[in-house]
Chains A and B, each alone.
Chain A
Amino acid sequence: MEQMKEKWSGKVDEITIGALEKDGGTRTSSVTVGGETVLPYLFKEGGMPNAPVIAMEVIDTEPVDWPAALKEPFADVLKDPVKWAVKCERVYKAALVCVKLAGTHPDFGNKTADEAAKLVKDILEAVKVPLIILGSGNEEKDNVILAKVSEAAKGEKCLIGDATEKNYKTLTASCLADGHNIIAESPIDINIAKQTNILISEMGFPHERVVINPTIGALGYGMEYAYSIMERARSAALIGDKMLSMPFICFVGQEAWRAKEAKGSSEEHPEWGSGTSRGILWETQTAVCMLQAGADILIMRHPKAAEETQKYIGRLMQK
Chain B
Amino acid sequence: MLVIGELINGMYKAVGEAIAGRDKKVIQKIAKDEVSAGAGMLDVNTGPYEKNPKDAMKWLVEAIQEVTDVPLAFDSTKPYAIEAGLKLAKKKAMINSTNSEDEKLDILVPMAKKYHASLIGLTMGKSGVPRDKNQRLEHAVKIVTKCQEAGLDISDLYLDPIVLPLNVAQAQGAQVLESIREFKFLCDPSPKTVVGLSNVSQGTRERPLINRIFLVMAITNGLSAAIMDPLDRGLMDAAITAELALNKNIYCDSFLSAYRKK
- Smallest CB-CB separation from A190: which chain B residue? B250
Tell whether, in the assembled complex, residue A241 and residue B252 are in contact, meaning their CB atoms are under 8 Å apart.
no
Which residues of B in the span 53-93 have a Cβ within 8 Å of any Cβ on A? none
Q: Which residues of B contact A236 (CB under 8 A)?
A: 249-250
Number of A-B residue pairs with CB-CB distance less than 8 Å in the complex they form = 38
Q: Tell me how far the C-beta of B10 lies from the nearest C-beta in chain A, rounded to whole angstroms.
A: 32
> A240–B254 contact, CB under 8 A?
no
Q: Are B262 and A198 in contact (CB under 8 A)?
A: no
Closest 9 CB pairs of A and B: A194-B252, A195-B252, A243-B258, A198-B254, A198-B258, A195-B253, A191-B252, A191-B251, A236-B250
Interface pair A240/B262, CB less than 8 Å apart: yes
**Min CB–CB distance A197 → chain B (angstroms):** 8
* CB-contacts of B215-246 with A (<8 A): none
Q: Could you tell me how many residues of chain B have their Cβ less than 8 Å away from some Cβ of chain A? A: 10
The docked-state distance in angstroms from the alpha carbon of A202 to that of B256 is 13
Indicate if A87 sits at the interface (CB-CB under 8 A): no
A190 to B261, CA, bound (A): 17
- Interface check A254, CB cutoff 8 A: no
User: Is B36 an interface position by the 8 A CB rule?
Assistant: no
Tell me whether chain B's interface is mostly helix, strand or loop, or mixed.
Answer: loop
| Complex contact A242–B261 (CB within 8 A) | yes
Seen from chain B, the residues whose Cβ lies within 8 Å of a Cβ on chain A are 249-254, 257-258, 261-262
Interface 0/1 of A192-214, CB less than 8 Å to B: 10110011011000010000000
Q: In the complex, which residues of chain B have a beta carbon less than 8 angstroms from the beta carbon of A192?
A: 252
Q: Which residues of B contact A199 (CB under 8 A)?
A: 254
Closest B residue, CB atoms, query A202: B257
Docked CA distance A207–B250 (Å)? 17
Q: Most B CB atoms within 10 A — which of A192, A194, A236?
A: A194
Closest Cβ–Cβ distance, residue B65 to chain A (whole Å): 22
Chain B residues near A232 (CB-CB < 8 A): 250
Cβ contact within 8 Å between B250 and A194 = yes
Does A262 count as interface, using CB distance less than 8 angstroms? no
Of the A-B pairs whose beta carbons lie under 8 Å apart in the complex, a sample of 25, sorted by A's number, is A190-B250, A191-B250, A191-B253, A192-B252, A194-B251, A194-B258, A195-B253, A198-B252, A198-B254, A198-B257, A198-B258, A198-B261, A199-B254, A202-B254, A232-B250, A233-B250, A236-B249, A236-B250, A240-B262, A241-B250, A241-B258, A242-B262, A243-B252, A243-B258, A244-B250
